[in-house]
């Protein structure tokens, strides 16, 4: 009798759990249904199909690849339209599956496996629709562009240099997880460990929109592996984010040549035949503001100069926007602060583990996940907050 009684007890408990799961599913489903309705209203699939056909036809025209920049623009538009179509088809498939499973649940088929499947599909839809909503919020002038992220170690000595290397890896892993193309443009290694500074380029649609809120000071609290006394230490890293300008946008930014101080040097660090023999690295200083940019990863001085100039223009554009200046010449140098601006996020590894954004109050106890590039929750909570 005991066995049977225990079984009955178990099944009533599982019925309770099943009821809770069903309630949760229905609540999330109502929300997802509204979001999906908004998605269908906003996304014109027929128009996307026309764009794909039109751009694909252009790629087969004679001489299409003769103008590399124009061809690249067409390819980017084609990729975006294809991605939009794929997303619409994926969401439609998910929605149909959810409807099928929910119909089975409504007919009384309530096994846990079915409910778990429904819950997972609805969560997947909710996540994807959340990303789409976020994309719609990014309507700034440069939001749709790729970006250049500049990382500089601040107060905290060797620990801060190690922290800068960890932050660099965090953004590289974020880009990898997204499938975004990224590359290192410059990196100055620390004497003992880590890096003094680094610059990476993320060449992907909306990368600037997503990452622009990362600008500011990132604070680390931990027991420093470089402190012999094993004391807790605080270190800072400054992050700057600039749009990756296309040729058209870059040509609109007028910078007076006489305001620039350009120096060349040998590219330090590990590398091929050229490293440390030829002065390929280029540093450009914009004298009125003191803004400096260095690029060393390209193989030739000419290419490094071109990249450095593009990054400098992007930096000046961001500053101009912050100061509401109509032209670069109106930027006030005294306001281009040498510190990292406000502290935007705390990463605590000791005495407890927690990453917390100071602006949106978004937090995560999964510090390792965050440092491995899982920062989407922080990016989206900031953008929704801003």
Q: Work out the average pLDDT over 210-232.
A: 90
Residue 9 predicted with pLDDT over 80: no
How far is 189 from 304, CA to CA, in rounded Å?
18
> Which residue has better confidence, 326 or 190?
190
- Look up residue 300 and give its two tokens: 């030739």
Report yes or no: 21 and 37 within 8 Å, Cβ to Cβ.
Answer: no
7, pLDDT greater than 50:
no
**Residue 329: per-residue pLDDT:** 67
Torsion sign across C-alpha atoms 16, 20, 25, 27: positive
- Whole-angstrom distance, CA of residue 30 vs CA of residue 212: 32
Handedness of CA 159, 160, 165, 171 (dihedral sign): positive
Give the strands of the sheet with 354-357, arranged side by side.
181-189, 195-203, 146-153, 232-244, 216-223, 343-348, 354-357, 363-364
Based on the number of CB atoms within 10 Å of its own CB, is 42 exposed (0-12), middle (13-18) or buried (19 or more)?
exposed
Q: Cα(383)–Cα(79) distance, rounded to whole angstroms?
A: 25
- Residue 12: the pLDDT is 45
| Residue 241, SS3 per DSSP | strand
Q: Which pLDDT belongs to residue 18?
A: 66
Model confidence at 271: pLDDT above 50: no
Edge to edge, the sheet with strand 260-265 lists 260-265, 281-286, 291-295
Q: How confident is the model at residue 268 (pLDDT cuts 50, 70, 90)?
A: low
- Pairwise CA distance, residues 204 & 138, whole Å: 14
3-state secondary structure 68-116: HHHHHHHHHHHHHHHHHHHHHHHHHHHHHHHHHHHHHHHCCCCCHHHHH
pLDDT above 90 (res 385): no
Q: How far apart are CA 327 and CA 253, in angstroms?
A: 8
- What one-character DSSP code corresponds to residue 375? -
Average pLDDT, stretch 217-243? Answer: 90
- Does the pLDDT of residue 341 top 80, yes or no? no
The reported pLDDT for the residue numbered 285 is: 93
Burial annotation 229-242 (CB, 10 A radius, 16+ → b, else e): eeeebbbbbbbbbb
Residues in the chain: 386
Do 125 and 133 form a contact (C-beta atoms < 8 A)?
no
Q: What is the pTM of this model?
A: 0.72
Residue-level pLDDT at 253: 85
Mean pLDDT confidence for 258-279: 70
H-assigned helices in the chain? 2-42, 45-59, 68-106, 112-137, 157-178, 207-211, 247-251, 301-322, 367-371, 376-385
pLDDT at site 53:
94
d(CA 58, CA 62): 9
Report pLDDT for 6.
34
Min mean pLDDT across 7-21, 93-107, 132-146, 232-246 is at 7-21
Structure tokens at 64: 């299409």
Q: pLDDT digits over 147-199, tens only? A: 999 999 998 889 999 999 999 999 999 999 998 999 998 899 998 999 999 99
Mean pLDDT, rounded, of the chain: 84
């Amino acid at each position: 009798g005991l066995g049977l009684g225990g079984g009955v007890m178990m099944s009533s408990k599982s019925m309770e759990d099943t009821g809770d799961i069903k309630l949760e599913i229905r609540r999330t489903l109502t929300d997802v249904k509204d979001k999906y309705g908004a998605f269908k209203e906003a996304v014109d699939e027929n128009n996307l199909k026309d764009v794909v056909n039109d751009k694909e036809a252009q790629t087969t025209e004679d001489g299409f690849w003769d103008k590399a920049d124009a061809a690249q623009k067409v390819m980017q538009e084609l990729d975006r339209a294809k991605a939009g179509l794929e997303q619409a088809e994926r969401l439609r498939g998910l929605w149909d599956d959810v409807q099928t499973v929910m119909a089975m649940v409504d007919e009384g088929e309530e096994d846990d496996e079915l409910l778990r499947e429904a819950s997972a599909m609805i969560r997947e839809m909710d996540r994807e629709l959340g990303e789409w909503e976020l994309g719609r919020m990014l309507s700034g002038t440069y939001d749709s562009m790729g970006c250049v992220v500049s990382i500089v170690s601040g107060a905290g000595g060797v620990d801060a240099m190690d922290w800068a290397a960890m932050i660099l890896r965090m953004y590289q892993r974020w880009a990898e997880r997204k499938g975004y193309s990224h590359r290192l443009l410059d990196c100055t290694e620390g004497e003992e460990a880590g890096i003094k500074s680094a610059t990476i380029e993320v060449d992907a649609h909306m990368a600037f929109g997503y990452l622009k809120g990362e600008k500011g000071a990132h604070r680390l609290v931990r027991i420093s592996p470089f402190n012999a006394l094993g004391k807790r230490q605080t270190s800072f890293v400054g992050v700057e984010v600039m749009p990756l300008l296309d040729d058209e946008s870059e040509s609109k930014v007028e910078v007076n040549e006489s305001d620039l101080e350009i120096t060349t040097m040998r590219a330090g660090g590990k590398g091929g035949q050229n490293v440390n023999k030829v002065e390929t690295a280029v540093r450009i200083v914009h004298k009125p503001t003191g803004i400096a940019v260095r690029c060393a990863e390209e193989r030739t001085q000419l290419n490094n100069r071109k990249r450095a100039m593009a990054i400098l223009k992007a930096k000046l554009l961001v500053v101009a926007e912050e100061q509401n200046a109509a032209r670069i010449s109106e930027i006030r140098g005294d306001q281009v602060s040498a510190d990292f601006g406000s502290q935007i996020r705390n990463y605590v590894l000791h005495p407890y583990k927690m990453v917390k954004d100071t602006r949106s109050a978004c937090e995560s106890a999964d510090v390792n996940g965050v440092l491995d590039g899982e920062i989407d929750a922080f990016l989206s909570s900031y953008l929704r907050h801003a």
